[in-house]
Amino acid sequence: MKKLLGIILIVLAVSLLFSTEVVILHTSDLHGNILPINYATNSPSDVGLAKIATLIKQFRNEYQNVILVDTGDLIQGTPLEYYHARIDNKPVDPMILVMNKLGYSAWIIGNHEFNYGLDVLEKAVSEAQFPALSANIIDVKENSSLFKPYHIVNVGDIKIGILGLTTKYIPNWEDPKNIEGLDFLDPVEVAKKYVDILKNKENVDIVIVAYHGGLERDPQTGEPTEELTGENQAYQLLQEVDGIDVLLLGHQHRTIATKINNVPVSMPSYWGKSLGKIVLKLEKKDNKWQVIDSSVEQVSVKGVTADEEITSLIKPYDEKVQAWLDQPVGYADGDFWVENPLFARLQDNPLIEFVNKVQMYYSKAKISSTALFNNSIKGWKSGPITLRDINAVYIYPNTLKVIKVTGKDIKDALEKSADYFVMENYTVSVNKSWVEPKPRHYNYDMWEGISYKIVLNNPSGNRIIDLMFEGKPIEMDKEYEIVLNNYRAGGGGGYTMFKGKPVVREVMMEVSELMADYILEHKNIKATTDNNWQTVVKFEYVINPGETLWSISKRLGVSLNDLTRWNNIKNPSLIKPGTKLVYYKNYIDTIPPIKELINF
């Protein structure tokens, strides 16, 4: 019996010697979130590195071989990071400070890393006790990678290579001055080169490709889930690059834990809502560790207690930011408030009109557009307006550009925005393609300085009518100056009609700062809407014997001029019974559209 037990122990010891586990913990798109709070309201929120830290410590106690990787969009997104970048950039970047404490192995450069300029980014990189990676961002002058392409981590005798890649689509969004002298190569082609180096020259046991980019296809079927612009190329990476053992993703703000070609793929939501956890089971064969099995999951921070060591570490930063945010800058006469985000996109709203007015005021352009960036933005009600209120509304560090476009470009842009809606049984909802696989509410624009109607029950691409500027129809071939944020002006969000258009002038202050300056200058701002745009429903009316166009317009509650224009009637006196007329009603006024449905 003792002999048998001894044999079992020997076998077990040999087995342990030739098999082990490696755990990869993965964060992405943290966007400056450390504390579990919503800065707009100061209310608790299930986000942030402080909660993630609790999970990290838990897994490090549970497993022996653990590494920690972030896939980008780190140093932009909250007032905490805005204050650090713009107001007091002397201390260590707060995100870097916490990540140093948590012992990250690598950080992949994301597109939002460039928002505050290269000086701020380079300072953050220099403060990190872990490498910032990106193999495909090239310094053109030096003809070399601006950042370290890859990093090798040794866990015991296991050699792990981490290759960093960044979406090549950054020039479509970023202010050119923030990426001057840089080139963004195709990550798939770059990966082919460096995975081969890691495998055959560095002789690593495990290759982790960490890419600030997302999945462009369904992981099961391979069918495209978005327009294949090159913004997201994760599926392509796994199809064309041999030797990838783990793929860590970001950028899309999705929650993904799947396998493609038996490779574990992770994307841990955003803002620190989840922590990616990949467990690799390894066996040693021919003196080299090989992956024999793997699992991948996303661990939510919901209900997790924030780590006190991290909250204490960041407290001095937070105290300064909180005091700064609570400074009143002016007074609101009336509510600049979004009660329902869908309704705010269906009719003119004082908050959106205000942002557009600010953009027009500082740019001197007569036409402007902006967006309600997400469904959490509320604005402010009548009374004092603080910097907290303003930063909660305009959450991106965008600047403004005035570009010269044609009337057709404006019409095309409006048609793209109008695709946001779908209508079934006279009820409007958001087009699924705008919220899956990632919500993109920020790409639905609302305009000021022009007037237009969106016909909700017309086919997408043919929804804009009554497009006017200064009381006259916009001419398709005529040029107009419009003001947009730098993201949209560069064609961001699929607005390719704006890409490469002549830049007339720029306003290099961020829109949130312009909003604050405007309120400081005017002191009191009045909530107004000029209802320059509407979402409408198209109906038909059949002319009865003895009716006149005037009596019909009165019956339908539309103006005689509108009815004449909508139906291209040359002589209002000559209308025939049985003729179908089209007319339009404001969608909000037709909820529920009982009169029209019963053929009133």
**Which CATH number do you get for residue 589?**
3.10.350.10
CATH of the domain at 206: 3.60.21.10
In a domain, 78, yes or no: yes
| Same structural domain, 207 and 261 | yes
Structural tokens at position 391: 């930063």
Instruction: Choose one of 303, 322, 341: the last residue of a domain.
Output: 322
Could you tell me if 39 and 160 lie in one domain?
Answer: yes
Instruction: Please tell me the total count of domains within the chain.
Output: 3
160 and 233, same domain (yes or no): yes
Decide if 394 contacts 434 (C-beta within 8 A).
no
Domain assignment present for residue 479? The answer is yes
Res 300: pLDDT: 98
In a domain, 12, yes or no: no
One domain, residues 34 and 144: yes
* 218 and 360 assigned to the same domain: no
Whether residues 422 and 486 fall in one domain: yes
584: closest CA among 418, 428, 453?
453
285 and 385 belong to one structural domain: no
The torsion of the CA quartet 385, 390, 391, 394, rounded to 10 degrees, works out to: 170
Same domain, 269 and 348: no
pTM confidence score: 0.80
pLDDT at 3: 58
Whether 265 and 204 share a structural domain: yes
- pLDDT per position in the chain (600 positions), as tens? 555 554 444 444 444 457 999 999 999 999 999 999 988 888 899 999 999 999 999 999 999 999 999 999 999 989 999 899 989 999 999 999 999 999 999 999 999 999 899 999 999 999 999 999 999 999 999 999 999 999 999 999 999 999 999 999 998 888 889 999 999 999 999 999 999 999 999 999 999 999 999 999 999 999 999 889 899 999 999 999 999 999 999 999 999 999 999 999 999 999 999 999 999 999 999 889 999 999 999 999 999 999 999 999 999 999 999 999 999 999 999 999 999 999 999 999 999 999 999 999 999 999 999 999 999 999 999 999 999 999 999 988 888 999 999 999 999 999 999 999 999 988 899 999 999 888 999 999 999 999 999 999 999 999 999 999 999 999 999 999 999 999 999 999 999 999 999 999 888 788 998 999 899 899 999 999 999 999 999 999 999 999 999 999 999 999 999 999 999 998 888 889 999 999 999 998 877 554 444 343
362 in a structural domain: yes
Domain assignment of residue 402, yes or no: yes
Q: Would 13 be classed as within a structural domain? A: no
What integer pLDDT is reported at residue 397 of this predicted model?
80
CATH of the domain at 468: 3.90.780.10
Sign for the CA dihedral angle at 227, 228, 232, 234 comes to: positive
Residue 508's pLDDT is what?
Answer: 77
- Domain presence at residue 545: yes
In 394-507, where does DSSP find H-type helix? 407-418, 486-489
Return the closest-CA partner of residue 210 out of 295, 293, 148: 148
Give residue 17's pLDDT: 58
What is the DSSP secondary structure assignment for residue 166, as one 8-state letter?
Answer: E
Can you read off the two tokens belonging to residue 302? 């919901």
Looking at 294, 322, 350, the residue that finishes a domain is 322
Same domain, yes or no: 282 and 403: no
Asked if 214 and 336 sit in the same domain, the reply is: no
- Residue 10 forms part of a structural domain: no
Three state DSSP letters for 391-413: HHHCCCCCCEEEEEEEHHHHHHH
CA pair distance 295, 281, nearest whole angstrom: 9
> Could you list the residue range(s) of the whole structural domain that residue 589 is in?
537-596
Tokens of 282: 């390894």
Residues 516 and 565 in one domain: no
Q: Which residues touch 339 (CB under 8 Å, ≥6 apart)?
A: none
The residue with tokens 């713009």 is 86
Of the residues 531, 562, 585, the one at which a domain ends: 531
Q: What is the DSSP string of 557-577?
A: T--HHHHHHHTT-S-TT---T
The interaxial angle of helices 49-62 and 308-325, nearest 10 deg, is 170
pLDDT value for 600: 35
